[in-house]
Amino acid sequence: MGRSRRTIPEELLLLALDPATGTTAQPQSLDLGLAGAQLVELALAGRIAPDGDRIAVVMPRPTGDPTLDSALELLRRRGSPVRAVHWIGGPRLGLRQIYLAHLERCGMVHAVAGQMCGVLPTTRYQATDTAISREIRARLDSAIRTGVPPDPRTAALAALAHAVGLGKHLYPGNEGRSSRSRLRDLIRHDPMGGLVAHAVMDVQNGVAAQPRRERAAAAPQPAARATAGGVPLQPRRTGAMARAAAH
């Protein structure tokens, strides 16, 4: 896999970078999104494929990208297909920092040291070439504005941007509401991107323990009202309720 183009994790991170503050929007969910973006990139490279709501390795040959190959090797070691929610919800400590450091090495961002409250050291990241971020954003804007089905990479990027909550960062306020809605709708244009995006949202909602169909079957149903001769029975009044009803 050549380095002639940026990977989806890199593009997702560049989208999340705030040019004014040098910080990343939605940092907690972004970590999940980067793990999901790795899956999409590996799928586009022909290394993995969806198997229902699971991910199966179909070609273990390395891609040439060290970070992606590390994820691919972990998937290979599982031996059997792994549920997307379990993979994305697993420990991913430092993944955002790994990609920020990678973007810095590639010259796409530069680190700016600072302090929080004059004491705690902090690091902000500024894009060195804003044309790259503008090009990524333009692809999303075009897909939203024209309604033409985007290419798989753009569709997957849009799905992940929606899943991690970047819609309000990219299209803020009431004027951006329709764009945020169309960004969400782009999720249907790439099956792998859609699977991963739904898994990211499931992990955030804390519902990763069961497959989606099992959760639907296990959902509580409205309790049937007891009847006598077809007439609904009223709940029995006791104590203060009975005394109040007698007056």
Nearest by Cα to 184 from 149, 153, 144, 150: 144
The pLDDT of residue 110 is 85
The pLDDT of residue 142 is 94
The pLDDT of residue 212 is 47
The 3-state DSSP class for residue 188 equals helix
Nearest by Cα to 159 from 182, 142, 133, 130: 182
Round to whole Å and give the CA distance between 87 and 214: 19
Q: How far apart are the first and last CA of the chain?
A: 82
The pLDDT of residue 3 is 44
The pLDDT of residue 177 is 94
What's the predicted TM-score (pTM) here? 0.78
**Going by C-beta distance under 8 Å and a sequence separation of 6 or more, which residues neighbour residue 203?**
32, 85, 88, 89
The pLDDT of residue 147 is 79
Q: Rounded to whole angstroms, what are the CA distances from 140 to 147, 149, 174?
A: 11, 11, 19
- The residue ranges of the chain whose pLDDT is under 50 are 1-4, 209, 211-247
The angle subtended at Cα 238 by Cα 236 and Cα 244, nearest 5°, is 105
Q: Which two tokens stand for residue 52?
A: 């229902």
% pLDDT > 90, the chain: 52
Question: Which pLDDT tens digit goes with each residue over 204-234?
Answer: 998 654 544 444 444 444 444 444 444 443 4
Q: Which helix (H) or strand (E) holds 228?
A: strand 227-228
